[in-house]
Structure 1
Amino acid sequence: MHEQMQDGSLFTRAIEHGQAYLRGISDRPVAPDAAAQAALAGLDGPLPEGPGEAEAILDQLAQLGGPATTAQVGGRFFGMVNGGLLPTALAARLLADTWDQNAVVHAVSPTNSRLEEVCQRWLIELLGLPEQTVAGFVSGTSMAIVCGLAAARWRLCQRVGCDINAAGLASAPRLRLITSRHAHSTVLKAVALLGFGTDTIEYAEVDDQGRLRPETLPALDETCILILQAGNVNSGSFDPIRACCEAARAAGAWVHIDGAFGLWAAACPNLAYLTDGLELAQSWSVDAHKTLNAPYDSGLSLCADPEAMVAALQNSGAYIPTSEHRDGMQFTPEMSRRTRAIDLWAALSFLGRSGVATLVEGLHARARQFEAELKQAGFSVINDVVFNQVLLEIGDEAKTTSFVDHVKASGEAWIGPSRWFDRPVVRVSLCSWATTPADVARAVAAFVAARDQG
């Protein structure tokens, strides 16, 4: 293995396989076909009794694993709000993986520590957050919401003299969780993981676009955590952030904004109106691997109350060499984690302020193109396309399922079904820099063919 490390041919081989994959991404089916998935059986079998041949292992992975992936980094993957992949960020990820640093503390990786500081400052500027905001680099919004709600719980308990870390839930004061009927499932997961209990959530009603209606909020007080949404996972709509935050501030409540893909609207001058008032919240969750097109996995937990975030998440131990520098483990639940700040720094360095705005506005433009061409083709678009989401109503459950299956089987696009006010719908998510106007037109043609076959 020492020779493999020094020789480099093994790594060159891996890069060649990756380059071949990227070169063919536009020509391959977006969804893997049945044959490609069946071929994965070739990667199964008994545990090898001894060492294998490294080159053969890589070749087998590329030959059998590659065809069974979805072409997520291409221009016609429109499912799950999964982001594309910036080439510069991918290259930085390869370098970061070669360094193989643990982002736990400055002493273990000074490079990561400094880049976390830089990215934190840049994010504050881009999104217009309070200057004292701190960032935790986590796996995704699912974990970022947990971090934000944990910080909220610590602060609200601390205000009434309860050390939640020491006393535990049994001795904690009752806190109220408030969100909209259209809150994302990851919010419910975070509420459950933290022991609040999903049955205790108080729900506000929504309008026809899935936006929280402020007049339906229950009475707020200093025991409340209000969770807002910047980007409805179906319609792409945004809760009225300023009105809700002002009401919460007046009552002494904590506000967390779930902005997995939508928070980036704040970085685009033409779309920033959607996030008006976001600086009035106390915590935010957002993914870099969605709208920003950083490599997976890359989530961000942001909090304007550094003391609460560190107190809720910090780990310690006699053997851990902490210092006056930034120690990443203070801002995340994990100690061991990859150095996500490296490829995020590369993405932000490459795009710059104007590039981020152009990227975000481009996703919106492709969504509006989708809307226009689908309507022209006779489809029913049922949401206001304010950001990057397009909702189609095809028919009943059977027709919707058949439509989605036909589109995927064509290899032309990847889309997914959803439910909107208990009606079956098709959701189209524009989330990749690689999507061109021609990609949208090609996908619409596949939609027409699927509808006509049905």
Structure 2
Amino acid sequence: MQPADLDEALTEQFEINRELWEVALEPWGSGVLPSAYELARARRSLQETLPNEGLGFAQTRDHILNDVVPGLNAASLSPNYYGFVTGGVTPAALFADNVVSTYDQNVQVHLPDHSIATDVEYRALGLLTDLLRLDRQIWQNGTFTTGATASNIMGLACGREFVLRAAAERRGSPVTSVGEYGLFEVMQAAGLSGVQVLSTMPHSSLGKAAGVLGIGRANLKSICSTSQDDNNPLEIDMQLLERELARPDRASTVAISCGEVNTGRFATTGIQQMQEIRRLCDKYGAWLHVDGAFGIFGRILYHPFSPEFSSITKGCEGMELADSITGDAHKFLNVPYDCGFFLCRHPSSGLAEDVFRNPNAAYLSSGKATATDTIPSPLNIGVENSRRFRALPVYASLVSYGRNGFQDLLQRQIRLARMIADWLFDHPAYTVLPTSRTKAELLHKTSMIVLFRANDETLNQELSKRINGTSKMFVSGTVWEGKPACRIAISNWRVDEQRDFAIVRNVLGRVAQM
């Protein structure tokens, strides 16, 4: 491509972006999923072999817009896409993401004389801690990742480094860093036979992280209470927790589910419980990690306090006592995929650097920190070297909407979820899960997610397929207590309680009569 052609292509690209923005920002009224015809047509249009002569920009543009785009779902565009806690893309985030693509910064090394990209990321982390009502002096340490999976890998990796380092140091061994010496060597030095992760109903990404890090998926252990006296499936058995932490042959990380994926509920119920967990972790040298995914954003409801959301604010209390917190910006913050975050309150200990340091790359020597640097090079504290400038849409969203804007969004999402749960509780064809003794109890515990199943077994086996087949809304199929169930996860910024409730009620009402 010649420079003149490039200039022309960029000009045309800006015009296409403008058109796409207009489509993306207008009220969404089309089907949530593409039709079978649109999917088949889009697949047939895809090039099977690489041509010797390219199609050129104009023809490729038309191919993408006319053939490929109709085969994509409206996960981020439609407020009625309730699968996978997808979220959407706010106008501010969409604008910033186009700037990200145009300027294409590789945010791996802090080069203050070259770019402010790392400054933007650092400030965005600070604004995020403000939103989550965390002490910026303690928590403005972390990085943006591809999502909760990468963030949970970082949390467990830092936890593994912390607990094994402490165990090896107690035995007087100089072999203390897993990042430097390897897992087997440090475990031998520490006199341990294994590392374990203790949690209640953890997200699957924690199991994946345990597998990646050599901890082992089999060592992700449940500490769920078997009593279920208060109908909380995430309840922690505190006696079991202490027995596991006290094992002399194991080092432990405790992972708190702050927003369980199927129900949206919380593993803890207030500051006193978190204080006790913190005490036990300190007593036995364990790392305390919070998988905040989307539930951690309930902290923005603290002020002004409202009894309407007390179960959610109680579930988020004490998260500042953790050692690390992960969350997804591409969920509640409604920024484009992919974007997660990892926060750690131990910057001075060098845990992240010991695990993720990028060694022996001479061409990156200019990225070494100096004594006056407050911003670390991201490649030394995270999984990736090459990194997209994903912090800019986060920064733009936080600046654009502020604490009150996100608080309003979360309140609308919760109120819609409770309207749906209220209606389903009385519907003879459906049961809301986990089962509640009273409607008041159900509504009190409902946050952004409604889990339910059909009472008729035949209908329940294909319930998600029938709902999604209407293309008016989309739900995730899941399993609860060994049986199929459906999950409505409300996370899009376009949510409108009355309009969206009417759509959900009409679809589920018709499906129940099929």
Q: Same fold (TM over 0.5)?
A: yes
Q: Deviations over 1:234-284 (max 9, x none)?
A: 111111161433332333211111111111111222543221110111011
1:132 maps to what in 2?
Answer: 138
Structure 1 window deviating more from structure 2 (120-129 vs 10-19): it is 10-19
Identify the match of residue 184 of structure 1 among 184, 198, 203: 203
Once the 2 structures are TM-superposed, how far is the Cα of residue 23 of structure 1 from its aligned partner?
Answer: 6.0
| CA distance in 2: counterparts of 1:88 and 1:103, whole angstroms | 20
Is the 2:127–2:395 Cα contact (8 Å) retained in structure 1?
no
Is 1:249 the counterpart of 2:282 in the alignment? yes
Deviations 1:107-162 (A, max 9, x none): 28632111111112122222233523311111000000001111111122222232
**Which residue number in structure 1 is paired with residue 264 of structure 2?**
236
Residue among 421, 424, 433 paired with 1:382: 433
Q: Which of 141, 147, 152 pairs up with 1:145?
A: 152
Q: TM-score, normalised by structure 1?
A: 0.94
Deviates further, 122-131 or 347-356: 122-131
1:168 is the counterpart of 2:182: yes
Which residue type is aligned with residue 217 of structure 1? Answer: L
User: TM-score scaled by structure 2?
Assistant: 0.83
Q: How does 1:17-28 map to 2 (within 5 A)?
A: 17-19=19-21, 21-22=23-24, 26-28=28-30
Runs of 4+ in 1 over 6 A off after TM superposition: none
Q: Residues 79 and 414 of structure 1 are in contact (CA less than 8 Å); yes or no, is this contact kept in structure 2?
A: yes
Deviation by residue 1:409-444 (Cα, 9 ceiling, x = unmatched): 111001121111222211110111112120221122
Q: How does 1:68-147 map to 2 (within 5 A)?
A: 68-72=71-75, 73-107=77-111, 110-130=115-135, 131-133=137-139, 134-147=141-154
1:22-61 to 2 correspondences below 5 Å: 22=24, 26-40=28-42, 41-61=44-64
Specify the SS of the correspondent of 1:172.
helix
Aligned to 2:172: none
Which residue identity lines up with residue 194 of structure 1 in the other structure? L
Which amino acid in 2 is paired with 1:277?
Answer: G
Percent of aligned positions with the same letter in both sequences? Answer: 24
> Structure 1: any 5+ residue segments left out of the alignment?
none
- RMSD value, Cα: 2.1
CA distance in 2, matches of 1:353, 1:24: 24
Residue-by-residue CA offset, 1:211-234 (whole Å, 9 max, x unaligned): 132333242249211111000101
Superposition map of 1:253-272 within 5 A: 253-269=286-302, 270=306, 271-272=312-313
1:52-104, CA deviations, whole angstroms, 9 ceiling, x for partnerless residues?
22011111111122221111121100001111111111101001110000001
Unaligned runs of 5+ in 2: 170-175, 307-311, 435-441
Aligned to 1:6: 7
Matched, 1:199 2:201: no
Write the distance in 2 (CA, Å) between the matches of 1:375 and 1:397: 18
Residues 181-240 of structure 1: CA deviation (Å, up to 9, x unaligned): 511110000000001111223321144443132333242249211111000101111111
> What is the match of residue 309 of structure 2?
none
Task: Choose from 340, 363, 369 the match for 1:319.
Answer: 363
- 8 Å contact from structure 1 (residues 4, 10) kept in 2: no
Q: 1:202 to 1:218 in 2, by over 3 A?
A: farther
Secondary structure at the aligned position of 1:192 is classed as: helix
C-alpha distance in 2, partners of 1:179/1:211? 12
Matched residue type, 1:113: T
Query: 2:393 aligned to 317, 328, 343, which one?
Result: 343
Q: Which moved more, 1:414-423 or 1:344-353?
A: 414-423
Q: One-letter code of the match for 2:362? A: A
- Which stretch shows the higher mean deviation, 195-204 or 97-106? 195-204
Aligned counterpart, 2:439: none
Q: Which amino acid aligns with 2:330?
A: H
